[in-house]
Chain A
Amino acid sequence: MAEKNTLAAQPKLRSKKGHERRTNGTIYTVLTIMSIIWLVPFVFLVLQSFRSYKLEKGGMVDYLLPKHFSLDNYAFLFEGSNFFSWCGKAILVGLIVAAAATLLIHLCGKALDKREGEDKGARILMIGGSLLVAFAALVALTAALQGFALAGKAGTLLIALALFMLVGFLMAKVYLKQDSKLLRSIPGYVVEDKHEGAKKLCTLALEFLVLSIIIQHMLAPMTASQYVRWYINTLTIALFTAVLQTAIVLSVSYALSRLRFKGRKLIMNSVLVLGLFPGFLTMITLYFLLKQLGLTQANAVPGLILIYCASSGMGYYISKGFFDTIPKSLDESARIDGATRFQVFLKIIMPLAKPIVIYTVLMAFMAPWGDYVFASYVAFGDPKGYNVAVGLYNWVNTNDFQNYFTRFCAGGVLVAVPITALFLALQKYYVEGVTGGAVKG
Chain B
Amino acid sequence: MVDLNYLKMSKPQKFAYNFGKFFKALPGRIGGGFVKLGRAIAGFFKAFGLSVADLFTTFKNGDWKTRLSYLIMGSGSMARGQWGRGLLFFLFQTVFNLYMVNFGMAYLSKLGTLGTVATEKVGRKTVYGDNSFLILLYGVLTLFFVLAFIYTWRVNIKQNKIAQQIEASGKKLKSTKEDLQSLMDSQFHKTLLALPTLGVFVFTILPIFFMILVAFTNFDYNHQPPAKLFTWVGFENFKQLLSSGSASYGDTFRQVLFWTLVWAFFATFLNYFLGMFVAIMINKKGIKLKKMWRTILVMTIAIPQFVSLLYVSKMFAADGLINTYLLKWGIIHEKIPFWTDPGWARFTIILINIWIGIPYLMLIATGILMNIPADLYESARIDGANAMQMYGKITLPYMLFVTGPYLLTSFTGNINNFNVIFLLSQGRPMGLAGNAGSTDLLITWLYRMTVSDTNYKIAAVIGIMVFVVLAVINLVVYNLIPSVKNEEDFQ
Binds A, one of B56-64, B233-241, B307-315, B432-440: B307-315
Q: Are A419 and B303 in contact (CB under 8 A)?
A: yes
Contact with A along B319-360 (1 / 0, CB 8 A): 111001100100000000000000000000000000100011
Q: Which residues of B contact A307 (CB under 8 A)?
A: 203
Answer whether A42 and B364 are a contact pair too, CB < 8 Å, given A284-B456, A285-B211, A342-B188. no
Please list 10 pairs of residues, one from A and one from B, whose beta carbons are closer than 8 Å in the complex, sorted by A's number: A24-B287, A248-B196, A252-B192, A280-B446, A280-B447, A313-B196, A370-B305, A424-B298, A424-B302, A435-B368
Answer whether A345 and B364 are a contact pair too, CB < 8 Å, given A277-B466, A441-B409. no
The answer, yes or no, to whether A232 is at the interface (CB within 8 Å) is no
The answer, yes or no, to whether B402 is at the interface (CB within 8 Å) is yes
The answer, yes or no, to whether A251 is at the interface (CB within 8 Å) is yes
The answer, yes or no, to whether A288 is at the interface (CB within 8 Å) is yes
Please report the number of residue pairs spanning A and B whose Cβ atoms sit closer than 8 angstroms: 258
Q: Are B297 and A44 in contact (CB under 8 A)?
A: no
- A107–B63 alpha-carbon span in the complex (Å): 67
Q: Are A274 and B204 in contact (CB under 8 A)?
A: yes
The answer, yes or no, to whether A167 is at the interface (CB within 8 Å) is no
Q: Are B406 and A39 in contact (CB under 8 A)?
A: no
Q: Which residues of A contact B355 (CB under 8 A)?
A: 37-38
B161: min CB distance to chain A, Å? 17
Q: Which residues of B contact A369 (CB under 8 A)?
A: 304, 306
Answer whether A342 and B185 are a contact pair too, CB < 8 Å, given A41-B312, A309-B199, A393-B306. yes
Binds A, one of B11-19, B32-40, B94-102, B418-426: B418-426
The answer, yes or no, to whether B184 is at the interface (CB within 8 Å) is yes
Q: Which residues of A contact B442 (CB under 8 A)?
A: 278
Nearest 5 pairs of A and B residues by beta carbon: A441-B405, A435-B367, A313-B196, A282-B207, A281-B463
- A309–B466 alpha-carbon span in the complex (Å): 24
Contact with A along B243-284 (1 / 0, CB 8 A): 000000000000000000000000000000000001001101
The answer, yes or no, to whether A405 is at the interface (CB within 8 Å) is yes
From 399 to 437 in chain B, residues with beta carbon under 8 angstroms from any chain A beta carbon are: 402-406, 408-409, 412, 416, 418-419, 422-423
The answer, yes or no, to whether B293 is at the interface (CB within 8 Å) is yes
Answer whether A62 and B307 are a contact pair too, CB < 8 Å, given A276-B470, A431-B367. no
Contact with B along A279-316 (1 / 0, CB 8 A): 11111111011000000000000000011011111100
Q: Are B467 and A277 in contact (CB under 8 A)?
A: yes
The answer, yes or no, to whether B374 is at the interface (CB within 8 Å) is no
Q: Which residues of B contact A288 (CB under 8 A)?
A: 133, 137
- A427–B205 alpha-carbon span in the complex (Å): 34
From 368 to 392 in chain A, residues with beta carbon under 8 angstroms from any chain B beta carbon are: 369-370, 372-373, 377, 388-389, 392
Residue among A24, A248, A282, A389 making CB contact with B199, cutoff 8 Å: A248
Interface of B is mostly: helix
Residue among A37, A439, A441 making CB contact with B408, cutoff 8 Å: A441
Chain A residue, CB-CB nearest to B468: A276
- A246–B179 alpha-carbon span in the complex (Å): 27
Residue among B286, B311, B416, B467 making CB contact with A44, cutoff 8 Å: B311
The answer, yes or no, to whether B206 is at the interface (CB within 8 Å) is yes
Interface size class of A (residues with CB under 8 A): 35 or more
Q: Are B210 and A285 in contact (CB under 8 A)?
A: yes
Contact with B along A221-250 (1 / 0, CB 8 A): 000000000000000000000000000100
Chain A residue, CB-CB nearest to B277: A30
Residue among A423, A430, A439 making CB contact with B406, cutoff 8 Å: A439
- A411–B175 alpha-carbon span in the complex (Å): 60
Q: Are A259 and B185 in contact (CB under 8 A)?
A: no
Residue among B193, B208, B402 making CB contact with A255, cutoff 8 Å: B193
The answer, yes or no, to whether A332 is at the interface (CB within 8 Å) is no
Q: Are A415 and B406 in contact (CB under 8 A)?
A: no
- A202–B456 alpha-carbon span in the complex (Å): 53
- A38–B210 alpha-carbon span in the complex (Å): 44
- A218–B442 alpha-carbon span in the complex (Å): 46
The answer, yes or no, to whether A420 is at the interface (CB within 8 Å) is yes
Q: Are B189 and A393 in contact (CB under 8 A)?
A: no
Q: Are A313 and B200 in contact (CB under 8 A)?
A: yes
Q: Which residues of B contact A306 (CB under 8 A)?
A: 203
Besides A313-B199, A419-B303, 16 new A-B residue pairs in contact (Cβ under 8 A), listed by A number: A38-B355, A277-B208, A280-B443, A281-B466, A285-B206, A285-B207, A310-B200, A310-B203, A372-B423, A412-B311, A416-B304, A424-B298, A430-B301, A437-B406, A439-B402, A441-B405
The answer, yes or no, to whether A408 is at the interface (CB within 8 Å) is yes
Most buried by B among A44, A62, A277, A289: A277
Q: Are A341 and B188 in contact (CB under 8 A)?
A: yes
Answer whether A286 and B302 are a contact pair too, CB < 8 Å, given A24-B286, A278-B463, A340-B188. no
Chain A residue, CB-CB nearest to B206: A285
Q: Are A340 and B184 in contact (CB under 8 A)?
A: yes
Q: B residues near A, CB below 8 A?
A: 133, 137, 181, 184-186, 188-189, 191-193, 195-197, 199-200, 202-208, 210-211, 278, 281-282, 284, 286-287, 293, 295-308, 310-312, 314-315, 317, 319-321, 324-325, 328, 355, 359-360, 363-364, 366-368, 371, 402-406, 408-409, 412, 416, 418-419, 422-423, 442-443, 446-447, 450-451, 456, 459-460, 463, 466-467, 470-471, 474, 484, 487
Chain A residue, CB-CB nearest to B195: A248
Q: Are B203 and A311 in contact (CB under 8 A)?
A: yes
Q: Are A313 and B197 in contact (CB under 8 A)?
A: yes
A340: min CB distance to chain B, Å? 4
Residue among A60, A255, A264, A373 making CB contact with B319, cutoff 8 Å: A60
Q: Are A251 and B196 in contact (CB under 8 A)?
A: yes
Q: Which residues of B contact A42 (CB under 8 A)?
A: 299, 303, 308
- A340–B471 alpha-carbon span in the complex (Å): 40
Residue among B286, B301, B304, B363 making CB contact with A415, cutoff 8 Å: B304
Q: Are B200 and A41 in contact (CB under 8 A)?
A: no
A59: min CB distance to chain B, Å? 9
Chain A residue, CB-CB nearest to B210: A285
B194: min CB distance to chain A, Å? 9
Q: Are A439 and B403 in contact (CB under 8 A)?
A: yes
- A382–B359 alpha-carbon span in the complex (Å): 36
Contact with B along A305-346 (1 / 0, CB 8 A): 011011111100000000000000000000000001110010
Q: Are B203 and A274 in contact (CB under 8 A)?
A: no
The answer, yes or no, to whether A434 is at the interface (CB within 8 Å) is yes
- A164–B195 alpha-carbon span in the complex (Å): 30
Residue among A259, A389, A440 making CB contact with B304, cutoff 8 Å: A389
Q: Are B306 and A409 in contact (CB under 8 A)?
A: no
Q: Are A441 and B404 in contact (CB under 8 A)?
A: yes
- A81–B450 alpha-carbon span in the complex (Å): 36
A137: min CB distance to chain B, Å? 24
Q: Are A255 and B406 in contact (CB under 8 A)?
A: no
Q: Which residues of A contact B189 (CB under 8 A)?
A: 255, 259, 261, 264
- A42–B311 alpha-carbon span in the complex (Å): 9
Q: Are B211 and A41 in contact (CB under 8 A)?
A: no
Q: Which residues of A contact B301 (CB under 8 A)?
A: 423, 430
Q: Are B185 and A35 in contact (CB under 8 A)?
A: no
